[in-house]
Structures are given as structure tokens and as C-alpha cells.
């Protein structure tokens, strides 16, 4: 079945960087954009950006421009999200999700990766 | 950016009774390709969001028929015809008509 499995929880200090991985299985990785969405504890969903695994092309939410990078490894069907210059407000669960091509829905979602930024 | 506003913030529903959630967008979600890119998700406690409804009114695979979506342009509604205990969680609307993708603030549904 189509599945996205994310890397484990991370604890980082302010100013550091974090890299979260998302391994896809059950479908052709190159055929669907991967999007990243985050959720602070008790808060709503915030879209961060997208990546086309075939071309590597990306689009980022303006809020994160300059400190976000999305990459992929097509040989392992894995997408990566890197966020730099971390601050306490970046403490959240980070989700990867697959975008359906024609209809643009997001499904499935990874299980989420908790990133805690604390000194 | 397209702002999505959901009401109410929270809802307490008796099992077997109907429930309704509203979602309004600041711009029409009708794309020039003829599709309206409005979706509904349910996030159960401790889980990622799960897709319920796509393109306003289409139930996703495996979604019970007690869930229905309606609306057009900037006004949309999710309805639960007969609430069940398993429907508890936070419901979000989402638009993908244009970037950035934006979500409503969420409606927390509790079953009495």
C-alpha cells in the first residue's frame, strides 16, 4: 500500500539545523509531488512547501524562504526537509504528504516527526 | 494569500445527531480548469490528518456516507448526518487552488 514513513524525533538547540526524512513506498516516487506541513502543539496546520521528486523543482512558503531546503534521493524514494536557523517557534510536528496529481489532494501523510527546539 | 475561516471553533454533538461545519475563503476556489480545489480533513487525536472530502463534495475512498460536502465559490459546508463516537477530532478545510496552500483554523468536534 502507499505509505510515507518519516524519520524519528529530533531535539535541536536554537540556531541549529534539522533534516527530516520521508521514505515513500507502494507507488512510483517520481510521479507525485511531496508537500511538507507542520503543526505546533495544539495548533493548526501550516503548509511549508512542495517538491517535485522527478525534477527536484521546489516551491516554498514565503515565511520560510531563506532557511528551508527540500531535496530528494530518487534511488531510495526518500524526500528530505531541512530547516535552518531554528528558533523555539519551530517546535512542531512535521508531516510529509503526497499530492495527488490531477485533483491536488494530499494523501497519504507520514506519521509525523516531532522537532523540539530548546536550549 | 487565500485565508480560510472555519466556524464554529468547537462543536459538541450527541451521537446520532447531525453536525455542520462552515468554511469560507477570501477568494473563489473555482479554478479556471473548472475544478474547485476545496478539501476536508479529519485529524483524530495523535494521528496525521485523513482526507474525507475532495473537490467540495466527493467522498474519498472508504469514507462513510454520513459525511457530505457542499458549497461553491467561497462558501463551503461539511455535514455529518448522524454523528458517531469515532468522528471525534479536529476538522480542517484546505484549499489548493493556488499557492500557498492554506488551511482553516480547525473545528474541534466532541461527541457527548
The percentage of residues in chain B with a pLDDT greater than 70, rounded to a whole number, is 100
The DSSP line for B43-112 is: E-TTS--EEEEETTTEEPTT--TTEEEEEETTEEEEEESS--GGG-EEEEEEE-SSSSPEE---EEEEE-
- Please report the pLDDT score of residue A103 as a whole number: 81
3 state SS of B28:
coil
- From A13's Cα to the closest Cα of chain B, the distance in A is 25
Chain A residues whose beta carbon lies within 8 Å of the beta carbon of residue B50: 107, 109
Q: Do A44 and B37 touch (CB under 8 A)?
A: no
Interface membership of A16 toward B (CB under 8 Å): no
Of A44, A47, A105, the CB nearest to B105: A44
Of A47, A99, A109, the CB nearest to B102: A47
- Please report the pLDDT score of residue A102 as a whole number: 78
Rounded to an integer, the average pLDDT of B47-67 is 97
Q: Do A111 and B48 touch (CB under 8 A)?
A: yes
- Please report the pLDDT score of residue B64 as a whole number: 97
Chain A residues whose beta carbon lies within 8 Å of the beta carbon of residue B101: 35, 47
- Please report the pLDDT score of residue A101 as a whole number: 79
Q: Do B48 and A109 touch (CB under 8 A)?
A: yes
- Please report the pLDDT score of residue A112 as a whole number: 98
Question: To probe the interface with B, which of A99, A107, A108, A112 has the most B CB atoms within 10 Å?
Answer: A107
Per-residue pLDDT of chain A in tens (119 residues, 90 and over written 9): 999 999 999 999 999 999 999 999 999 999 999 999 999 999 999 999 999 999 999 999 999 999 999 999 999 999 999 999 999 999 999 999 999 877 899 999 999 999 999 99
- Describe chain A by its helix, strand, coil percentages, rounded to 5: 10, 50, 45
Question: Is residue B4 over pLDDT 90?
Answer: yes
Residue B87: how many CB atoms within 10 A of its CB? 21
Interface membership of B102 toward A (CB under 8 Å): yes
Cell triple for residue B84?
458517531
- Please report the pLDDT score of residue A77 as a whole number: 98
Amino acid at each position: 500500500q502507499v505509505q510515507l514513513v518519516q524519520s524519528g524525533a529530533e531535539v535541536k538547540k536554537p540556531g541549529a539545523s534539522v533534516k527530516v526524512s520521508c521514505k515513500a513506498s507502494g507507488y512510483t516516487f517520481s510521479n507525485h509531488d511531496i508537500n511538507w506541513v507542520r503543526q505546533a502543539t495544539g495548533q493548526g496546520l501550516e503548509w511549508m512547501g512542495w517538491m517535485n521528486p522527478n525534477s527536484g523543482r521546489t516551491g516554498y512558503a514565503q515565511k520560510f524562504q531563506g532557511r528551508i531546503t527540500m531535496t530528494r534521493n530518487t534511488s531510495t524514494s526518500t524526500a528530505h526537509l531541512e530547516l535552518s536557523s531554528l528558533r523555539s517557534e519551530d517546535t512542531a510536528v512535521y508531516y510529509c504528504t503526497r499530492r495527488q496529481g490531477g485533483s491536488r489532494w494530499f494523501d497519504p501523510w507520514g506519521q509525523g516527526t516531532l522537532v523540539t527546539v530548546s536550549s | 494569500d487565500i485565508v480560510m475561516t472555519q466556524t464554529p471553533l468547537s462543536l459538541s454533538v450527541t451521537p446520532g445527531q447531525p453536525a455542520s461545519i462552515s468554511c469560507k475563503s477570501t477568494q473563489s476556489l473555482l479554478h479556471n480548469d473548472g475544478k474547485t480545489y476545496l478539501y476536508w480533513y479529519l485529524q483524530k487525536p495523535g494521528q496525521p490528518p485523513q482526507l474525507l472530502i475532495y473537490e467540495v463534495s466527493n467522498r474519498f475512498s472508504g469514507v462513510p456516507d454520513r459525511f457530505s460536502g457542499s458549497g461553491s465559490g467561497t462558501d463551503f459546508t461539511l455535514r455529518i448526518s448522524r454523528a458517531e463516537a469515532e468522528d471525534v477530532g479536529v476538522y480542517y478545510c484546505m484549499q489548493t487552488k493556488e499557492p500557498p496552500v492554506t488551511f482553516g483554523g480547525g473545528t474541534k468536534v466532541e461527541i457527548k
